[in-house]
Amino acid sequence: MKVGEIVKNVVQEVVDTLPESDRFIVDNKTILFGNGSEIDSMTLVSVIVDLEEILADQYDKEMCLTDDRAMTREISPFDTIQTLVDYIEELSKQI
């Protein structure tokens, strides 16, 4: 499974638990953090933890998505699904 599909699936699982009136469409432009985000910070933490577990299984190596590299970037990897996918793909090349 491709990284983009994995990230979208994890976020979609969150959306599926929301009341019908709070559900939103999950695509590459979905905002994960900051102004316009459809999810709160605790939900984002849950998404990140789930992704780290799935990616560890997928790549057979631990991948920390919230290390110093992520936190010191000019553009946060958690802005949108696409920025998160790009960051994960970058990390996966380094492991």
- For position 58, what pLDDT does the model report? 85
Name the token pair of 78: 């958690």
β-partners of residue 31 are 80
β-partners of residue 9 are none
- For position 60, what pLDDT does the model report? 86
- Where along the chain do its domains lie? 3-94
- For position 75, what pLDDT does the model report? 87
Q: How many residues does the chain have?
A: 95
Q: What is the pLDDT of residues 63-94, one digit of tens each?
A: 999 988 888 998 899 999 999 999 999 998 87
How far apart are alpha carbons 22 and 38 in whole angstroms?
8
Q: Which CATH architecture has domain 3-94?
A: Orthogonal Bundle (1.10)
Over residues 22-32, the mean pLDDT reads 96
SS3 label, residue 71: helix
Q: What is the pLDDT of residues 28-66, one digit of tens each?
A: 999 999 999 989 999 999 999 999 999 999 888 889 999
Do 11 and 26 form a contact (C-beta atoms < 8 A)? yes
